[in-house]
């Protein structure tokens, strides 16, 4: 089946779910973090599916790879911030977030480094 839209990409769908889970998690952060870690996590999370979508929309393979690379970097940023939030006791470990981080990261890695 041919992909007609970025929304058909499994990696985008999982990254989108990760954004929703990040928002659910950060809504309970201390009010002092509203412009700090909470906002940074949301920005990093939103960046992942947004860059996947933008790269797909460019219809040019080198640009698509560049945007996938940016998405991969944002995912690493989000994971770092998530770990910090746990260590600061703003949230508890979430298997859902951890699984999505792992799945999206693995998919992006394979997209960026295909077996030849």
Instruction: Give 61-116 pLDDT, tens digit per residue.
Output: 999 999 999 999 999 999 999 999 999 999 999 999 999 999 999 999 999 998 75
User: Residue 103: what pLDDT?
Assistant: 98
CATH superfamily of 17-112: 23S rRNA-intervening sequence (1.20.1440.60)
Tell me the pLDDT tens digit for each residue of 6-38.
999 999 999 999 999 999 999 999 999 989 999
Query: What are the distances in angstroms from CA 5 to CA 2, 9, 56, 64, 103?
Result: 9, 7, 8, 14, 20
Domain boundaries, the chain: 17-112
93: region left, alpha or beta (phi > 0 left; psi from -120 to 50 alpha): beta
């Amino acid at each position: 089946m041919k992909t007609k839209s970025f929304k058909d990409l499994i990696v985008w769908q999982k990254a989108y779910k990760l954004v929703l889970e990040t928002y659910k998690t950060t809504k309970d952060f201390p009010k002092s973090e509203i412009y700090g870690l909470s906002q940074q996590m949301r920005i990093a999370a939103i960046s992942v599916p947004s860059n996947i979508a933008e790269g797909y929309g460019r219809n040019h393979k080198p640009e698509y790879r560049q945007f996938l690379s940016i998405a991969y970097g944002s995912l690493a940023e989000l994971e770092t911030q998530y770990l910090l939030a746990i260590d600061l006791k703003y949230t508890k470990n979430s298997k859902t977030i951890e699984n999505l981080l792992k799945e999206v990261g693995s998919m992006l890695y394979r997209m960026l480094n295909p077996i030849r």
